[in-house]
Amino acid sequence: MTVAAPADRRFRRAHVKPQRTRGRRSLGRRLVQGAVLIAGIGYAGHETTTLFDRAAIFHVARINVRGNSRLSVGEVTALLEDLKGRSILTIDLPEWRQRLLKSSWVHTATVRRILPSTIEVAITERRPMGISRIGEDLYLVDSHGVVMDEYGPAYADIDLPIIQGLASARVGTGLAVDAERAELAARLLSSLSRRDIASRISEVNVSELHNAAVILKGDTAVIKLGHEDFLDRLQSYLELSSALRDRVPNIDYVDLRFDRRVYVRRVPR
């Protein structure tokens, strides 16, 4: 006769425990092996980067410049002095970009790598809106009031109006420019940018913050235009100028700020 004996649970537990122990040991070995593998990869990567860094083929040999007009290529590359010969893989591009922006002519700049050994520089230059008189000297100034450079023979080809009242002081080694007056001058010149009008502007005066004035080429009268509607007001002067001259030969200024009323003052005797 065959008798079925119940299984002893103690034997079953004894059978399971060794499997769990082996599983934990196996997992531990895999973790250790993985850590060793990662460390090895990291070390190999570091050594590879160091090798590339030392390789002459990855040293900066050329600097290509584009977007420059007034600045020469030599002037741009001079701002990146000591860049050549450095590892192209490890140079800090934002740092070299900031060096370019130190030039008063550079408005924006980008610097990028072209492997194996070329750096490409792209810049946009500031555009002067006028020639500002600061103290006894003349300076090129852009629409944001940035003093770009002293005006001289090198810029004889630039035909821009003189801007009076834009700056009034020298601070330390720099030049102080009033931002609000620069904004007023920029709005005025922008609104008068039509070729037939812009070419006739000889001088702009923003000494009064809310009253811009202009002088036209071949005309001695100061034309006060206020702080808005510059084009309409100047056009009204051009239409009336002949009649005004017939009545007042020696005009000191014409004030056009008061809608349809025109105030004319003759030159004091």
Q: Which residue has the higher pLDDT, 24 or 214?
A: 214
Grade residue 183 by pLDDT with cuts at 50, 70 and 90.
very high
Q: CB neighbours of 94 closer than 8 A, spacing ≥ 6?
A: none
Name the pLDDT band for 32 (thresholds 50, 70, 90).
low
Band (136; pLDDT cuts 50, 70, 90): confident
Could you give the CA distance from residue 70 to residue 72 in angstroms, rounded to a whole number?
Answer: 6
Indicate whether 200 belongs to any domain: yes
Say if 76 falls within a structural domain: yes
3-class secondary structure for the chain? Answer: CCCCCCCCHHHHHHHHHHHHHHHHHHHHHHHHHHHHHHHHHHHHHHHHHHHHHHCHHHECCEEEEECCCCCCHHHHHHCCCCCCCCECCCCCHHHHHHHHHCCCCEEEEEEEEECCCEEEEEEEECCEEEEEEECCEEEEEECCCCEEEECCHHHCCCCCCEEECCEEEEECCEEEECHHHHHHHHHHHHHCCCHHHHCCEEEEECCCCCCEEEEECCCCCEEEEECCCHHHHHHHHHHHHHHHHHHCCCEEEEEEEECCEEEEEECCC
Residues 36 and 69 in one domain: no
Task: Write out the residue range of the structural domain in which residue 135 sits.
Answer: 128-266
- Angle between helix 179-191 and helix 230-247 axes, rounded to 10 deg: 80
Q: Indicate if the pLDDT at residue 87 is higher than 50.
A: yes
Tell me: pLDDT of 225 over 70: yes
Residue 6 lies in a domain: no
7 found inside a domain: no
pLDDT for 142 beyond 90:
yes
- Contacts (Cβ under 8 Å, ≥6 apart) of 74: none
Contact 264, 244 (CB under 8 A): yes
Residues 121 and 133 reside in one and the same domain: no
- Return the C-alpha torsion angle 125, 129, 134, 136, nearest 10: 100
Assess whether 120 and 152 both reside in one domain.
no
Of the pLDDT bands very low, low, confident and very high (cuts 50, 70, 90), residue 134 is confident
CATH number for the domain harbouring residue 228:
3.40.50.11690
Q: Clarify whether residues 163 and 223 are in a common domain.
A: yes
Residue 46: which pLDDT band, with cuts at 50, 70 and 90? Answer: very low
For residues 37 and 132, state if they share a domain.
no
Averaged pLDDT score across all residues of the chain: 85
Residue-level pLDDT at 44 = 47
67 and 144 assigned to the same domain: no
In a domain, 9, yes or no: no
- For residue 231, which phi and psi values (nearest 5 degrees)? -65, -45
In this structure, are 104 and 200 located in the same domain? no
* Predicted TM-score of the model (pTM): 0.75
Does the structure show a pLDDT above 70 at 112? yes
CATH for 97:
3.10.20.310
Q: Do 144 and 182 form a contact (C-beta atoms < 8 A)? A: yes
17 versus 142: the higher-pLDDT residue is: 142
Tell whether the model's pLDDT for residue 27 goes beyond 90: no
Return d(Cα 235, Cα 200) in angstroms, integer. 12
> Looking at 125, 153, 174, which one is the last position of a domain?
125
Residue 4 located in a structural domain = no
pLDDT digits (tens, 9 = 90+) for 94-109: 999 999 999 999 999 9
Report the domain count for the chain. 3
| Residue 13 pLDDT class (50, 70, 90 cuts) | very low
Q: Is the pLDDT of residue 237 over 90?
A: yes
Residues 161 and 219 in one domain: yes
96 and 143 in one domain? no
Q: Are residues 90 and 190 in the same domain?
A: no
Are 141 and 260 contained in the same domain? Answer: yes
Return the higher-pLDDT residue of 49 and 199: 199
* The pLDDT of residue 176: 76
Domain end, chosen from 125, 148, 178, is at 125
In this predicted structure, the answer to whether residue 162 has a pLDDT above a threshold of 50 is yes
Of 96, 125, 154, the last residue of a domain is: 125
On whether residue 5 sits in a domain, the answer given is no
CA 232 to CA 190: how far, in whole Å? 13
Is residue 189 a contact partner of residue 198, using CB atoms and an 8 Å limit? yes
